[in-house]
Amino acid sequence: MPAFIYETKGRIAYLTINRPDARNAMNREVWDGLVKAWTEVGENPDIWVAIVTASGDKAFSSGQDLKEMAEWMSIPEDKRPPMPLPDINPMRGMRIWKPVIAAINGLAIGGGLELAMACDIRIAAQTAMLGLAEVKSAVIPGNSGSQKLPRLIPFAKALELLMTGDLVDAQEAYRLGLVNKVVPADQLLPEAEALAAKICENGPLAVRAVKELAYRGIEMSLEEGLRLETEIGDRLSKSEDAMEGPRAFAEKRKPVWKGR
C-alpha cells in the first residue's frame, strides 16, 4: 500500500497521505511523494486546484515519523543517508501560485499543521484537533510553524499555542481564523471539492495572479504592493483569457478558459 497517493480528476489534483495506522505520520516515502506532487501541481497546465488530505478519520497528519527519525539518528553521522525531512518542501522553499485546499480530517499536529498552513484555504472536520506541540519534546516547530502561525492568527494567541504546545479543536481554530470552515466529517471532502470546483469556474490565470499578489504583497509596503499589482495586471491583460472574459459577458455565454 503506497504511503502517499497522487491522483487527478478533471482540473483538480488530490494529494493524500495514506498511513492511517501511523496517524498519517510523514516518513521518507510521504515526503518524496509530497514534493513530487507539489512540483507536478505547479507545472502541469491541466491542474488548476489541488486538495491535500489524508486517509482515515483519525488524523490529517501527526507530523514527522519519529520512529523513522530515531532510526536515522542512530546511524553513525558519517554513514547517514540524507535526512528523511527534505530541506526544500511545500512548507518552506516550494511556493506555487495555484490554489491549494487542505481538507483536515482529524489530528493535525506539528508537521501536520505546518502542511495545512502551507495550503491557502483550510477546511476542517468537526473532529479535527490542531496544534504545534514540539516544545513538549524540547524542540521547536522548525518547518515553518513558528513563522506561519503568528501570521495566520492573533499574535498573542499564536505565542500561547507555541509556548504551551496545546491543541485547539476545530471550532476554536475557526474562531481564531486558522481554518476557513468546519463541517461534519462525512461532508469534508465534498465541501473541499465544491470549493475547488467553484474556483475552477474563474479565470485560472487571474486566480493565480491574486494568490501571488496576496502572498508577495503582504511582505511589501503598500506602495510596493500597488506597483506589483499594476505589473501583474498589465501582464495578465495580454492573455487570451483576459480577452475571453469580456467577450463571453457580451455574448451572454459561459466563458471558456484556456489558462493562457
Q: Catalytic positions, please?
A: 114, 134
Q: Give how far Cα 92 sits from Cα of 89, 155, 235, Å.
A: 5, 21, 27
Do the bridges between strand 167-169 and strand 129-131 make them parallel or antiparallel, or are there none, so unpaired?
antiparallel
Grid coordinates in use for 28? 521518507
Q: Which residues, 6 or more positions from 3, have their beta carbon under 8 angstroms from its beta carbon? A: 17, 18, 19, 27, 29, 30, 33
- 55 Cβ contact list (under 8 Å, min separation 6): 5, 16, 17, 18, 19, 20, 24
Which residues share a beta bridge with 29? none
DSSP string for residues in 41-64: HHH-TT--EEEEEESSSSEEE--B
| φ and ψ of 26, to 5 deg | -95, 105
